Chain A
Amino acid sequence: MRGLDIFLFEWKHFVRSPFKIIALLLFTVACIYGLDNGADLYEKQNSEIEKLNFISNQKKETIVAYFENGKKGPQNRPRVNITKPYWAIKNVPRYHYKNPSPAIVYNIGKTEQYGFYKSITTSSSPYDTDMAKEIANPERIQSGTLDFSFVVLYLVPLLLLVLIYDIKGAEEEQGFLPLIFVQTGSKNWWILSRAVFYFILLLLVLFVLMLYGALLTDVFTVANAFWNIFLCITGYLMFWFVIYFLILKYGKSTVSNTIQMMGFWVLFVFIIPAAIQQWVSIEKPTNLMIDIIDVKRDKTSDIYDQSTQLKDKQLFNLYPSLKSTEIAKDSILIKGARRSSIIALVNEAMKEAIAKIESDHQTKNEIIVNTYWFNPVTYSQNKLNQFSKTHFNDYESYREDIQKSVDKRIKIMVLDIWNNVKVDKAKYLSYFEILN
């Protein structure tokens, strides 16, 4: 019996096994449900971003109208003077977004742990409370959304088990295994051909389901996302295939093979990731952000209480060009400029605290990365997160971008205050352009 015959014979075997067909159908339904969940999230986030952009533009138009009507701000807030850089920049609406990747359809990843938009002001920080995640049921977040990657990572090994668990065992129990070996010539080849049939079948099903996912969002607009994810899934499937094949090859009966397969599944899916999570939380407990809280409270008031000489020194170190401005030489005007610029010093202190926290996160993540070699499920999950731009590192970059945006806003504000810039409509619109 040649490989192709064994292969074709397996097709007959498969279509005559209602148990296996039901399992595959259930799996397909779960995948479609997962893909729809991913697409829903993608749509939801994009529609929120659209709404926020609309609000942002509306706010901008309101300020532009003040300039056009010769007003300095809203009537009920006489303090506001939008011709001053301080107030003009304060009134430049800006949301920073973590735009969802179309590949989110395959994998939601860490998306639900974080917010995806942030209003930026000069006093913003990437650890503000408005960075909180979307309102959701914590019990659902804890158990995780049923997305495509969940089905792939946790159910694919089980489906493969259901499809191949009785290879060799069933024949052995029915007593015609020696006959098959005589007919096929090679025991390994026969087991491999049969198992490969299910491997290919599963891969095909997954590929078709991924194509369905690609119809829901524009996955192909993201360079290589589709193929990278498919490759990752193939590798993951291959890992389980090898383990199961070895069990089938050396196994003695269907029952013992099934138990061993389940044992490996439990080990890789539950025990190892859970033990690592436990280890990380003991080794590096959750950061309670005391460093940030300290900056927001004590450090900020310390900065405000500093001597004017020290404040000036720090400001000139931060922005050397301030020293040569006219305001720096004016003992009266410098007071107001200095007061409005203190936020830059607070921002620097905040950045130092954030650096400590990010380094703490990094240490935890390094522990996890070092376990990848014996933790394939976590490795694959994080690889998928990378491809769908929902990895922890993507949110770290998002936080870095927020910080850069805040830095830029503060810098423009401070320089323009010290250079006594007068803001008009054109200048305001240029602020809007630069800061968006």
Chain B
Amino acid sequence: MLQIIKNEWRFLVRSHLFFGISITFIFILILSVFLGNYETQKQKQSRKNAKNHIRQQWEKIDQLNPHSAAHYGTYIFKPSNLLSSLDEGVNSVTGNVLRVEGHVQNEITYSGASQIQSISRFGSLKSSLLLQYIVPLLLIFLAFNSVSNEKQSGRLKLLVLQGAKPFQIIFSKTVAVWLYGLSLLILVLVFYGILNIHNFTVEILIRSTLFLVAYTLYYFIVSGLTVFFSTRWQNATLALTSMISIWIFWTIFLPNILMSSAEKWHPLPSRYEFKLAMKKDRSKGLDGHNPSDKRAIDLKIKVLKEYGVDHLSALPINFDGMRMQADEEYGNSVWDKHFGNNRKLLKKQKKTFQLGGVLSPFISLQNTSMGFMANDNLHHQEFLLQVERYRRVFIKTLNDKQTYGGSKTGNWGWKEDNAFFKSVPDFKHIPTKIGLVFSNYILDLVLLAFWFIIVLILIILGAKKIQIV
């Protein structure tokens, strides 16, 4: 078997066309890793500058009422992720800036895609684009006539007469082509590793290994299926066109149709409906800025009772801050309910799309690729949740200062000094660990493994039914 693989490689290397294409493609692959990395570094720097600029503005606050500071708020910039130089996932469409302030949970805005006219429907020239779309095509071109050529030239008969079993021949040819894809994949990862040697962590290593596993399985599926067609069809053209049709169906046709359908089957509310529902629920709670609000009065009675006093002025604390915080907490529960519903719907859409992997292993590859590179919607939602958690701590810190910082109810002119504002912690993004989200990708990996087995079975069947003469 090893000998057949070696021979296959010898043939491949001897072909000038193949050699030329390979060299060009390797150059493009390396360039894509380099450019992706350069872009990520540039993004990192610009986000760091923006973050420092905003933090400086915050730390420059000299004298301000804490609740006014909550309205002044801050901005969070979506940090760029080292792995996005391999697969940027949804980053170009999700927005980059999130305003954090009191009373309101804003949405992330200013996506890269909204700042330019249409360019590429498949994203920028990242390694993932080449590894997902182009490498499989190369594998198809390498494999489509691997067996049919042998049949036509009579070499297959010769090989069998020499003692090689048909399964060994077909499997070896599959492995030979698959190894070509695998070496391109390893080349990308090694080059990426060299460029980021100083930032390499165990987390990145695990994620890259999983990335490698997913692509490895997919390349075997493509190589194996093409060799199978080459075995079954007498005509190499038929094998090529069949496989290209399958490739089109898997990569262009099905993912788009399924994704659009998943959104139709589990529809998200329109922005108008969503805001209306939020507003309706919010109106059932307490209005922090309206002291005559019924629920605010109830809270006042409760607090006065707790402190055993008759008037707000007799309270040792500032009731305004407490009312604001109560308003916040009610708002938080409304946000949890409505955004939680949206997240559930997004999860359902994702699950439906993942199941599409039964029909197209490309769907599973795409999901795992951007997931393992921490740039899918799941990781984006995790980032948004972290920001919301920070917002709650940030606003509570300010409201608590208003309440317990020494001012009295109604004293809106009371201000905190610069030292307090400097002490308010800045947002720190904690990248999501793969261990916490891995379960979400098990289905994709299982489906890739399922396809791997199917292709293996096809190769075995193909070997049994192969016509040697």
Contacts and interface: CB of A to CB of B under 8 A. Distances in A.
Q: Do A and B come from one complex?
A: yes
B241 interface: yes
A288 B124 contact: no
B92 interface: yes
A278 B257 contact: no
Interface in B77-110: 77, 89-90, 92-97, 99, 106-110
Contact of B117 (A33, A144, A365): A365
A202 B43 CA distance: 44
B27 interface: no
B213 interface: no
A113 B43 CA distance: 21
Interface string A415-436: 0000000000000000000000
Interface string B306-335: 000000000000000000000000000000
B110 A382 contact: no
B118 A138 contact: no
Contacts of A26: 253
B255 A135 contact: no
A100 to B, nearest CB: 14
Nearest to A19: B241
Contacts of B77: 288
B47 A277 contact: no
A241 to B, nearest CB: 19
A362 B35 CA distance: 23
B116 interface: yes
Contacts, number: 231
Contacts of B121: 144, 150, 153-154, 273, 381
Given A76-B290, A143-B259, A145-B260, A138 B54 contact: no
A280 B106 CA distance: 28
B467 interface: no
Interface stretch (B162-170, B342-350, B448-456): B342-350
Contacts of A165: 241
Interface string A262-275: 10001001110111
Interface stretch (B183-191, B214-222, B244-252): B244-252
Contacts of A280: 116, 119
A405 interface: no
A254 interface: yes
Contact of A254 (B237, B274, B350): B237
A87 interface: no
A335 B374 CA distance: 55
Given A278-B125, A290-B50, A385 B118 contact: yes
A255 B42 CA distance: 43
Interface residues of A, number: 86
B269 interface: yes
B19 interface: no
Interface string B280-307: 0000000000101000000000000000
Interface string B110-135: 11111111111111111001000110
Interface in A56-83: 76
B263 interface: yes
B46 interface: yes
Among B137, B245, B262, B272: residue with most chain A CB under 10 A: B272
A30 B253 contact: yes
Interface in B231-278: 236-237, 240-241, 244-245, 248, 252-253, 255-257, 259-260, 262-263, 268-272, 274
Contacts of A142: 89-90, 92-93, 123
B255 A143 contact: yes
Interface in A321-335: none
Secondary structure at the A interface, as helix, strand, loop or mixed, is helix
A391 B110 contact: no
Contacts of A286: 43, 96, 110-112, 115
Nearest to B45: A285
Among A37, A131, A141, A276: residue with most chain B CB under 10 A: A141
B321 to A, nearest CB: 22
Contacts of A143: 255-256, 259
Interface stretch (A44-52, A217-225, A337-345, A346-354): A44-52
Contacts of A381: 118, 121
B433 interface: no
B260 A37 contact: yes
Interface string B375-390: 0110010000000000
Among A173, A258, A277, A293: residue with most chain B CB under 10 A: A277
Interface string A395-414: 10000000000000000000
B122 A270 contact: yes
A360 B15 CA distance: 48
Contacts of B145: 255
Among A48, A166, A275: residue with most chain B CB under 10 A: A275
Contacts of A368: 116-117, 119
A276 B118 contact: no
B270 A132 contact: no
A210 to B, nearest CB: 20
A76 B256 contact: no
A436 to B, nearest CB: 19
Contacts of B241: 19, 162, 165, 258
Contact of B377 (A139, A255, A289, A360): A139
A281 interface: yes
Contacts of B153: none
Contact of B42 (A33, A269, A274, A285): A285
Contacts of A129: 99, 106-107, 109
Nearest to A110: B118
Nearest to A146: B256
Contact of A140 (B43, B262, B370): B262
Given A26-B253, A30-B257, A275-B125, A135 B47 contact: no
Interface of B: 28, 32, 35-36, 38-39, 42-43, 46-47, 50, 53-54, 57, 72, 75, 77, 89-90, 92-97, 99, 106-126, 129, 133-134, 137, 141, 144-145, 236-237, 240-241, 244-245, 248, 252-253, 255-257, 259-260, 262-263, 268-272, 274, 290, 292, 342, 346, 349-350, 353, 370, 376-377, 380
9 contacts: A113-B111, A137-B262, A138-B377, A140-B260, A145-B256, A146-B259, A155-B248, A259-B240, A277-B125
